[in-house]
Every structure is written in structure tokens, then in C-alpha cells.
Structure 1
Amino acid sequence: MILDDFVQFDANGLYCKYGGFYIDPVQPVEKAVISHAHADHAVAGNREVWCTVGTQAFMLFRYTKNAAKIFNVAVYRQQFNICGVAITFIPAGHMLGSAQVLMEYQGTTYLYTGDFKLQADATCEPLEWVKADVLITESTFANPATQHPDPVLEISKLNDIKINILLGAYGLGKSQRLIRLINDHAPQKAVLVHHRIMPLNLVYEKAGYALGKYQLYNRKLMKNQQEYVYIVPPFTFDSYIRATGVKRLFASGWKNLQVNSQDTLYISDHADWNDILEMIKQVQPTQIWTLHGDGKHLREHFNDTLFVKLLN
């Protein structure tokens, strides 16, 4: 039997009262199951955390001693138990260490996707399918009008830009994916990275994910050649708004973050409309619960054929 209140939002985030834990809480809590290490899903200060080894590595790097008092690290597809709720981490394909959270309680399965993507990504574990009675899915881009382009075609646009490029990207996950894509599909470009991105790259490489060639940014380098791509985090990108002699691009699935009318770089690490429909097809849920976005389009799409509940 599906429990309508199996997970609910409160001031601290998404709470499973049957297991006494939060999933990706927005405030520090006693027990937290963390799907991945992006800051909007993994906050500091939780007392006890369950996560993958990749997520732990990034949390420890970012938060040091404040990451959590107790870490419980589980490998993918290895079941563990929190107060009677059986939990299994399933690869989500979003970034290194990202996991879907499969929960089983009283014979019913609930799958929290976390952030996920279906597109190929050589810098993280690929998404895996699992069936569940209830699919609790992110709906960041759950709109029929949203279809993400092929990232290889997008990154190949850099080949036609003959001046140095200032490329804005989130430091964790997106930057590492871009480094690998540039090495694979725009190999004549030399990749420079901001000093805050460099230690994150080392975590990837320690985990066995080769990113290809890159080096720490040096101002003198970009003055002498025209084939550099300098990858910087958002705060640095914004501070260079008046930069001259470079093409400014921001790699994102959000249209409002594209800064040039002539050149765009739509590379998203989230599922688009068709990907979410494929997730539903593969999971074969009886019910869909949406969060982290607007689920109204899914409700309209399935109408009376599949129950859709909007959690937020």
C-alpha cells in the first residue's frame, strides 16, 4: 500500500517520518540521506549522513570538520536500513557520486531521483534504471518546450571561435564535464581552470575519472595565444563582465544564463522533458510525485492515466 505521507516537506526539507530521516535537507538535521554533493542538496552541519563515497569526498573537501559528525558510506546497489526503511543508492548520472534513493517500506518502493540526467557523461557513473511503485522525481525542466541539445554538438561550437574564451560554469560537476568534452571534441583548445576548480578536479582523478589536459590559469598565457578556454566559477565570470578580447559564454541549461545572442552553450546536467518521460517509462510507477520544479505539465500530460502529485 502506498503511504501518501511517506515523505513530506517541512522547514528542514523533505522528511520521511517512517524512517526518521531527511533527504537532501536544506537545514542541518539529525539524520540526512544525501543524493549528491551540490550545495543545494548537501548542507553542512548534519549529525549523521548516509551518502556515496564520491559525495562524502566532496562534502569533506567543502565543509571539512563541519561536513557531518558521522558518515555512513554505502556503495551503489548495496542495501542499508534506517529505522525500518530499506534504502539503496542507484547511480543518477548527474555528477560524480550522485545517487537515486530507492526506499522500501512495508512492501512498497519509493524512488527519489535526486538530480539526474540521461545524457552520456564520461566524468560520472551513468544512470541506472530501477522499478518502483512511486517515482519522486525532480521536475526542474519538466516542460514539453524544453529539449536539451546534444552536448557534443554544443561543445563543438568552440571550434569556430577563434579568440580566447571565458567559459562560466559551476565548479563542481559541470566544470569537470566541460574539461573532458573540450579535450574530446575541441582538442586544439587549451583548457585553463580557475584555482577554485583545480582541487575538485583532483577528487575526480583520484576516483579514476580522467579529465584530459588542463592547467591552472596564468594571465600571461592568454595574452600570447588565441586558443585558450578559461573555465571559471559564476562569481568570477560575473566579475569579468567588461572583459575585452575574449568571447564570454556560460554553460548551462538555463536560457537566462546565456550571455550572447550570437553564441550559446546549452549544456545541462538535468533531465529535460523527454528524459523525464523516459524515466517514468522505465520505472513504471503507479504514482508520480514531483519536486524541485513545476510538475503541472506532467499532471496535464498524464491526465487521468497516471496519478501525479505535486510535493512543492
Structure 2
Amino acid sequence: MKVCPEGLYVEPGGFYVDPLRPVERAVVTHGHSDHARPGHAHVLATAGTLAIMRQRLGEGAGAATQTLDYGEAIRIGDVTVRLVPAGHVLGSAQVVLEHAGTRVVVSGDYKRRFDRTCAPFEPVPCDVFITEATFGLPVFRHPPDLGEIDKLLHSLSIFPERSHVVGAYALGKCQRVISLLRAAGYDRPIYLHGALEPICKLYESFGVPLGELRPATVAAKEELKGALVLAPPGAVADRWARRLTDPVVAMASGWMRVRQRARQRGVELPLVISDHADWDELVQTLDEVAAPEVWVTHGREEALVHHATQRGIRARALALVGFEEEGA
């Protein structure tokens, strides 16, 4: 395997994993825009990822596409390829590569928390594990998800006259927040900024129930009084939000652990809800896959490389450019 300007190249198979530039053959782990780029000639991914790519990229989703179900094996060149769940968003997958008696697993983005909106992460023992490290510092230890949702519900109860607007990424975070709210017993309509509606409908078409959702951008001002509204992080303070009554501004992101980020964005109610593994979960995953060699990419690489080295694991930082949590 080689790190090329286009991204991670699997030479015996003649394909790239999550390439950054248009290539002839791409295996795509999930639909976030820093992993699913437009313009590839051939794309292999799960049905969920391909549906997301078609919705977001249209014809740019790939001149030719092929669906690979979780656990199904396919031969590409001299490499056997399987996709297993990554627990990140709908359709997200780890790429399991086997060649000449060696198994390499490319994690893509992943989380280890229970999530009703996508298949749970499956650790795969391997010889080389290529892991993300978005929150690869010991300071990042995410609190329980339902505890953060309880904060939101408590705020709704003590400020019933105020609208609550929650910034959430369109793909994955929005649907997860809705699912957590439903699991906590919130059965009222949830209002959506128009940019969030298409992905929510796509999730529902894949059998993910989200309850009653209503468009926020055309709702009457009185209807939104005391309501819960979800919007993309960058749209929380846009002109459409003027119809919200004295809004409580919340943000759902693992970055809300960093108080300065919350203050810079004018967030009154930070909710530490992440779709990425935290430090303890990254370490747990290294233990479970038991790979003697680990490559760390797109995140806080140095700390996890140091930790792995201290544990007797051969570790290196790939320093791939162009990957980040969508919307960060």
C-alpha cells in the first residue's frame, strides 16, 4: 500500500480507498464529503453510501458504481475486499483487504457508541490497522450520549417559551440526535432546516424511523415558539432563524468539549455528541484488533502513535491531507 497524492493506493488491486482526487477505481468508506469525492470512474461502496453519494453528488457519484454488502467478499486484482460496519453513519464501512496472507483494515471514520441509525462497529483482527484519530488526544473523553440529550430536554422544560435550535451536520449527526431524542421519550414534532430534509428522508427510506419531522423554514413564527429545531451548524444564525423566539443556540459535536469553540460560535448549550471514537475508544479498538502495526491518519496522530509505540506496536502517522469531520 502506498500514500500517493490521490490518497491511499492499494497497488496489488489497482484501486484507492477514499481518494482525494478523481481516479479510475475507488473504494469509498462512507458518504461524508471529505471521503466521498466526485469524479471517479468506478466506485465500490455499500448501498447506503452509494445512495448518499448519488443524492449529494448526482452524476459525480461515479461513472460506474457497484454495491458490496457488509461481509460480502469480492476479488479486485490480487486483493480480496470485504466491507464491515464502521458505526459512523448510514452505510459507513471499514475496508478489509487480504493479500498474500496479510490482512489490512482501513477503518474510515468510526465510532463505538450504540446508534440506532447505522450498523454497529465490528472490530476485525488484522496485521495492519489504518485508523482515524479525529479525537486522538486523552482530553477527548465523550460523556454518555443520553446525558447530553437530557441537558437539551431539561433546557426545553425550563424555557418552554424559547425556541431551541441545535446545530447538527446534515449527514449522520442530525439523524442521530433525532433518534436519541426519540429514545429519550421526546415525541413532539421536530423542525428541520431545509438542508437537512433530504438526508433524513433517505435514512427513512433505509428503514430508520425518525418520527414526525416538519420544515422549519416555512413554519409560522408562533408554531416555532418553544419548538425544537435542527439546522446545519453554519445556518444557525442565518436570516431564516429570525422567526425563532428568543432561541437557545445549541451545537451537537465532539468539538463542544473545547469550551473556546463553543464560545466562538455563540453556543449557549454545547452538546458533546460525536460520531467519532474518543480517546478511550481508539485505545480500546487497538486492543481488540490486536494489529502489530498501526497507521494513524486524519486527526490528532502523534498522541496515538506515541501510545501505540509504548505498547510495543509499530506505528506511523500517514499525515494524509484533506480529511476532517464534515463541517468542522
Q: TM-score, normalized by length of structure 1? A: 0.92
Amino acid at match of 2:119: E
User: In the alignment, is residue 301 of structure 1 matched against residue 300 of structure 2?
Assistant: no
Verify the 8 A CA contact 1:189 1:227 in the aligned structure 2: no
**Any idea what SS the aligned residue of 1:135 has?**
strand
SS across alignment from 1:102: strand
Distance in 2 of aligned mates of 1:168 and 1:82: 41
Q: Distance in 2 between matches of 1:184 and 1:18?
A: 46
Gaps of 5+ in 2: 320-328
Answer whether contact 2:194 2:217 (CA < 8 A) is retained: no
- Report whether the alignment pairs 1:25 with 2:31: no
Q: Distance in 1 between matches of 2:241 and 2:228?
A: 17
1:233-292: per-residue Cα shift (whole Å, max 9, x none)? 133124359856101111111135424575211100000111111111111101111001
- 1:97-246 paired onto structure 2 within 5 Å: 97-161=91-155, 162=159, 163-185=162-184, 187=186, 189-224=188-223, 226-239=225-238, 245-246=246-247
Find the aligned partners of 1:65 and 1:262 in 2 and give their Cα distance. Answer: 40
- SS of residue in 2 equivalent to 1:42: coil
SS in 2 for 1:197: helix
Is 1:310 matched with 2:317?
yes
Measure the CA separation in 2 of the matches of 1:133 and 1:222. 57
Closer/same/farther in 2, CA of residues 179 and 304 from structure 1, 3 Å limit: closer
Counterpart secondary structure, 1:64 = helix
C-alpha separation between the residues in 2 aligned to 1:157 and 1:99? 31
Preserved CA contact (<8 Å) 1:92 1:116: yes
Instruction: Work out the CA distance in 1 between the residues paired with 2:145 and 2:239.
Output: 25
Count of residue pairs the alignment pairs up: 306
Question: C-alpha separation between the residues in 2 aligned to 1:275 and 1:233?
Answer: 27
Where 1:210 maps in the other structure, the secondary structure is: coil
In the TM superposition, what is the alpha-carbon distance from 1:213 to its structure 2 partner?
A: 2.3
Distance 1:205 1:279 in 2: 30
Distance 1:115 1:205 in 2: 22
Distance, in Å, in 1 between the alignment partners of 2:28 and 2:104 is: 16
Structure 1 245/251 Cα, relative in aligned 2: closer, same or farther at 3 Å? same
Alignment of 1:3-42 (within 5 A): 6=1, 8-42=2-36
Q: For the Cα contact (< 8 Å) 1:102–1:109, is it kept in 2?
A: yes
Tell me: CA distance 1:65–1:242, structure 2 relative to 1, closer, same or farther (3 Å). closer
SS of corresponding position for 2:194: coil
Structure 2: how far apart are the matches of 1:235 and 1:262? 15
Instruction: Flag the 1:131–1:166 CA change in 2: closer, same or farther, 3 A.
Output: same
Following superposition, the deviation at residue 226 of structure 1 comes to 3.7
State, as a whole percentage, how many aligned pairs show the same letter: 35
Relative to structure 1, is the Cα distance of residues 207 and 306 closer, same or farther in structure 2, using a 3 angstrom cutoff? same
More displaced 10-residue stretch of structure 1: 45-54 or 17-26: 17-26
Q: Which residue of 2 aligns with 1:291?
A: 297
Query: Which secondary structure does the structure 2 equivalent of 1:292 belong to?
Result: strand
Looking at structure 1, the residues matched to 112 and 203 of structure 2 have their Cα atoms a distance apart, in angstroms, of 20
Q: Provide the secondary structure at the position in 1 that maps to 2:248.
A: strand
RMSD: 1.9
In 1, the alpha carbon distance for the partners of 2:266 and 2:60 equals 39
Quick one: distance in 2 between partners of 1:263 and 1:270?
Answer: 20
Q: Distance in 1 between matches of 2:23 and 2:296?
A: 23
How big is each residue's C-alpha offset from its partner over 1:89-147, in whole Å with a ceiling of 9 and x where there is no partner? 01000000000001011100001100000011111111112111111000111111110
Residues 23 and 39 in structure 2, CA contact (< 8 A), matched pair in contact too: yes
Corresponding residue number in structure 1 for 2:276? 270
Q: Kindly provide the amino acid, as one letter, of the partner of residue 148 in structure 1.
A: H
CA, structure 1 residues 304+99, in 2 after alignment: closer, same or farther (shift >3 Å)? Answer: closer
Which residue identity does 1:301 align to in structure 2?
H
Distance in structure 1 (CA, Å) of the matches to 2:267 and 2:173: 22
Distance 1:284 1:149, change over 3 A: same
- My pick for the range that moved more, 187-196 or 159-168, is 187-196
- Secondary structure at the counterpart of residue 90 of structure 1: strand
Task: Give the alignment's TM-score, normalised by structure 2.
Answer: 0.88
Among 56, 63, 77, the alignment partner of 1:83 is: 77
C-alpha distance in 1 between matches for 2:118 and 2:252: 18
Consecutive aligned runs of 4 or more in structure 1 exceeding 6 Å deviation: none
Q: Structure 1 residues 282, 159: closer, same or farther in 2, change over 3 A? A: same
Consecutive unaligned residues of structure 1, counting only runs of 5 or more, are 1-5
